[in-house]
Amino acid sequence: MLIFSTAQWGLADEESVSLALPQGPVILTISGAIERTNVDDEAHFDRTMLNALPQHEVRTDTPWTEQAHVYRGPLMRELLAHVGAQGEHVLVAALNGYDVKIPSDDFVAYDVLLAIESDGEPMPIREYGPLWVLYPFDYHEVLLSEKMRFRAVWQVMRINVL
């Protein structure tokens, strides 16, 4: 079951407030056209900071897993709103060097997660972690296209708002 929420880009009450500094290892860096930062002109997140954002769950199959799993994490649109993103695209980069440009409209049209857990456990690197831009494949047939599958980036380490 997918938990749905709506969010607008750029949260008005947070736009002028800097982000807290990460206390643990940084697992995500967001850069580019963002308003809220904590290290120079970037937003660095540790696991605790990502867990502090509103969390959502989706149970879905993926083209890469043998069965459905329950994934949990913030919605991409809410994460981007949290940093005051002002771009029409994001460039998502993975630990293995893969990167893909994703239209920001995807995050409004679909409840795309930045998954940080699978079946209640943190995802190790060898199992698509620590972060996975995950589309709710079971909920929209259009998401099963090759074009959309290429946008589901695992082992995410960086997002650049364009």
56 token code pair: 């959502």
Distance (Å, whole) CA 42 – CA 72: 24
Distance (Å, whole) CA 57 – CA 73: 7
Distance (Å, whole) CA 157 – CA 112: 17
pLDDT tens digits in sequence order for the chain, 162 residues long: 444 333 344 444 444 578 999 999 999 999 999 999 999 999 999 999 999 999 999 999 999 998 999 999 999 999 999 999 999 999 999 999 999 999 999 999 999 999 999 999 999 999 999 999 999 988 888 888 888 889 999 999 999 999
Distance (Å, whole) CA 32 – CA 159: 8
Burial class for 156, CB neighbours closer than 10 Å (0-12, 13-18, 19+): buried
Per the CB < 8 A criterion, the answer to whether 129 and 141 are in contact is no
